[in-house]
Amino acid sequence: MTDMVAPGVAPAEKIVDRARALAAFKFGDRAFYWITRISAMTVLLILGGIIVSLVVGAWPAMKAFGFEFLWTRRWAPQLDEPVLGALGPIYGTLVTALLAMLIAVPVGIGIAIFLTELCPVWLRRPFGIAIELLAGIPSIIYGMWGFFVLAPFLTDHFQPTMIAIFQNVPVLNAIFAGPPSYLSLFNASLVLAIMILPFITAISRDVFSTVPPILKESAYGLGCTTWEVVRNVVIPYTRVGVIGGVMLALGRALGETMAVTFIIGNSFQISGSIFAPGTTISAAIASEFAEADGVHQSALILLGLLLFVLTFFVLATARVMLARLQRKAGT
């Protein structure tokens, strides 16, 4: 069947117009392909550049201290022959992140369950916005609030109570040993928990909202309570998303700087008590980098490289865990 030809337009001209249109579509498609490809390659180049710059900056410390840098507890850059070790900052980073997650994960998931299952409809939006606003507060504000408001309360009321309760309990009396202090691992962990709470809550609430209503209605129809519906329907259906949110919050906790620097004490000593001062990798870098030079500066850059590797390991572990969960679920 012959094509319809517009009045006054020759068939040859119509073929030329079609060819031009096809050429324009092909050019646009190729341009889109290369723009997206270059964007992806740029991200990889930036990541590679960061890794290379960290390795180059940390190389003098690597040569000077070797693998002993990882388990050396002393940090004495002022000596004629500096003795620098990363064990104190690594310990503080892991302890504060672990304590923060132990506090924030159940609270954050509990808030998300309340917002999606129990909260009155008229209260859900303002309550959710209030939680999410916590993510927009600058970290230095958290640090100042932690030092001037939270630390005095914990030192005068919470810490003495915990020390008195566990003073005769083996193991726990070492973990909750005194004296009370404004600057401690626990105070920093509590501030971190408040900072990462919005991430866990927001992501958990969003994934809880994706549960098909028919699944929950079926469970309620069988006589399940709200707790049984949450435990047996909502959590299993959304566990991949929840774990992803928890790992995102963990990454934030590992790398937080200013808030922790304000309230942790910046002590490189390792203590079994969570009420003792300590330091983290990011806090050590922030507090000393401006005045460091030579091998001291290189050691701080090596700390940054260790934090980069630690964060990458955590995120990679999360990806493997999520992939296994997805395979187990058959998706």
Report pLDDT for 13: 66
Show which of 27, 47, 65 is a domain's final residue. Answer: 65
Report pLDDT for 305: 92
Q: What are phi and psi of 324, to 5 degrees?
A: -65, -40
Name the DSSP letter for residue 128: H
Domain shared by 136 and 27, yes or no: no
Domain shared by 184 and 286, yes or no: yes
pLDDT below 70 — which residues of the chain? 1-17, 328-331
CA distances 9 to 2, 3, 13, 15, 17, Å, are 15, 12, 7, 10, 11
The CATH number of the domain where 206 resides is what?
A: 1.10.3720.10
Report pLDDT for 2: 46
The Cβ of residue 172 has, within 10 Å, a number of other Cβ atoms equal to 13
Q: Is residue 303 within 8 Å of 287, Cβ to Cβ?
A: no
The token pair at 268 is 């490189």
Nearest to 154 by CA among 181, 185, 192: 181
Rounded to whole angstroms, how far apart are CA atoms 54 and 304?
7
Residue 2 counted as domain residue: no
Q: What domain range is 15 assigned to? A: 11-65
Domain shared by 31 and 98, yes or no: no
Rounded to whole angstroms, how far apart are CA atoms 220 and 228?
9
Q: Is residue 305 within 8 Å of 54, Cβ to Cβ?
A: yes
Report pLDDT for 64: 86
Show which of 43, 65, 87 is a domain's final residue. Answer: 65
Domain shared by 165 and 299, yes or no: yes
